[in-house]
Amino acid sequence: MTGQTAGDLLRMTDAGRVHHAGTPAEVHALRSFSLAVAPGELVAVMGPSGSGKSTVLHLAGGLDVPTSGEVVLDGVSLGGLSVRKRAALRRRAVGYVFQDLNLVPALTAVENVMLPRELDGVATSTARTEALAALEEVDVADLADRFPEELSGGQQQRVAIARALVGPRRLVLADEPTGALDSLAGEAVMKVLRARVDAGAAGLLVTHDAQHAAWADRVVRLRDGFVVGTTGDLVHGVGRAPAGVVGDVAGGQR
């Protein structure tokens, strides 16, 4: 990819994130990372623990801001926004599938899916209609009135995905969405994510599983905050790992 195009929903340009900058405990979580994702594309990010994968998702979704470079979501640069404005943009444009699901135990499946829309000021009746449609999309609409404890792990994951897809979400971020599932349930979840991307969303997936990464159009591999390999014409102008690091992972984890 030679540069940003008008159709890109997410653009990260030389994005870096340093924790505790200027102190002895300074940590470079991500270094000079560049990536553009358009609607209809699913990109997988892989790497060992501590490589910067979650940092990519946090920056892409506005949960954090870069200490260097720029992140542009749906035409808006996130670095210059207040916490409140980033949260409003995230509710409108971003669906996040958390590794630990974060379903509210006291709410039913449909109420969990309705929650982000209601927080964004959408009328309850409209939020419920949208939530039921999202549950239908992931094939669990018949479980709408059950509480999380009454659902299997795979069913809970589908509800979490429905919550990420509800309303006008254009970017779906998924952090190890199949980590707690068996192989069959995991493949079903990936099928749902792939279908949503094919329907027009942009997707960014963090995974350790090469089989699940195979559902993506492109794969980027990280180590120690650096890009150490890509599949597809994915990254332009990226920071590269020091000499020797790439060789350590060549042909390794996908």
What's the predicted TM-score (pTM) here?
Answer: 0.82
Segment 128-150 shows an average pLDDT of: 95
- Among 25, 12, 4, smallest CA distance to 57 is for 12
**The token pair that represents 202 in the structure block:** 């942009």
Predicted local distance difference test score (pLDDT) of residue 138 = 86
Rounded-to-integer distance, Cα 114 and Cα 104, Å: 11
* CA dist., res. 173 & res. 197, Å (int): 11
Q: Is the per-residue pLDDT at 216 higher than 80?
A: yes
Give the mean pLDDT of 146-153: 94
**At 174, which amino acid appears?**
A
Question: 236, exposed or middle or buried, with CB in 10 Å at 0-12, 13-18, 19+?
Answer: middle
Q: Which two tokens stand for residue 56?
A: 């990519």
Q: Which two tokens stand for residue 243?
A: 């000499």
| Ordered structural domains, the chain, with CATH | 10-249 (3.40.50.300)
Place of tokens 């599932």: 181
Q: Compute the average pLDDT of residues 97-101.
A: 82
Residue 6 — very low, low, confident or very high, per pLDDT cuts 50/70/90? low
pLDDT in tens, 51-74: 999 999 999 999 999 999 999 999
What DSSP state is assigned to residue 249?
Answer: H
Extract the tokens encoding 187.
Answer: 């493949």
What pLDDT band is residue 101 in, cutting at 50, 70 and 90? Answer: confident
Q: What is the pLDDT of residue 232?
A: 65
Per DSSP, the three-state class of 181 is coil
The rounded distance, in Å, linking the Cα atoms of 186 and 168 is: 25
Q: Model confidence over 106-131: pLDDT tens digits? A: 999 999 999 999 988 999 999 999 99
Q: Which of 233, 163, 153, 218 is nearest to 196 (CA)?
A: 163
CA distance 223 to 235: 15
Task: Convert the pLDDT of each residue in 80-94 to its tens digit.
Answer: 899 999 998 988 899
- Is 4 within 8 Å of 33 (Cβ atoms)? no
* Residue-wise pLDDT tens digits, 217-247: 999 999 999 999 888 644 333 333 333 333 3
What is the identity of the amino acid at 56?
V
Q: Which residue has the higher pLDDT, 53 or 153?
A: 53
